[in-house]
Amino acid sequence: MRIGSLGLPELLIILLVVLLIFGPRRLPDMAKGLGQSVREFRKGVKDMKEDFESEASDQASTSAPAKAAAEPVKAEAAQAAAAAPAADGAAKPAAKPAEASAGTDSEPKPETKEA
């Protein structure tokens, strides 16, 4: 049995030193206190995990209706954006005559004969 880099012989030596320092009377009380501390720590971790999970589920449930409500707004905005250029396009000319005669198109201009 290995815990980190400590093996069974090392753990037995540590236990023997603790027993010699604190004595057989205080060792059960220390073990009881250590057990209670570990129990409280595990309980605290479990509570934090439950709080985190409940907060995440609350956040997901509140954001789902917000997303569902935002989807129709996005669809309406897209329809309005699609309709806006069509209305503006009728009011604006397709191309300016100066641009057409400036030679900006890719087709060559037909040559005209002068008389």
pLDDT in 10s for each residue of the chain, 115 residues: 556 788 888 989 998 998 899 888 888 898 899 999 999 999 999 999 999 999 888 887 877 665 555 566 666 666 666 666 554 455 555 555 554 455 555 556 666 666 5
**Contact predicate 19/27, CB 8 Å:** yes
Q: What is the pLDDT of residue 61?
A: 80
> What does residue 6 show for φ and ψ, rounded to 5 degrees?
-95, 130
* CA neighbor of 84 nearest in space, from 76, 72, 96: 76
**Contact predicate 30/22, CB 8 Å:** yes
Which pTM does this prediction carry? 0.41
Domain ranges within the chain, ordered by starting residue:
8-83
Q: What is the pLDDT of residue 7?
A: 85
Q: What is the pLDDT of residue 96?
A: 52
Question: Would you state the structure tokens that stand for residue 98, as one six-digit string?
Answer: 């100066």
* Strand, helix or coil for residue 24: helix
Q: What is the pLDDT of residue 48?
A: 94
Around Cβ 92, how many Cβ atoms within 10 Å? 8
Around Cβ 11, how many Cβ atoms within 10 Å? 13
Q: What is the pLDDT of residue 45?
A: 96
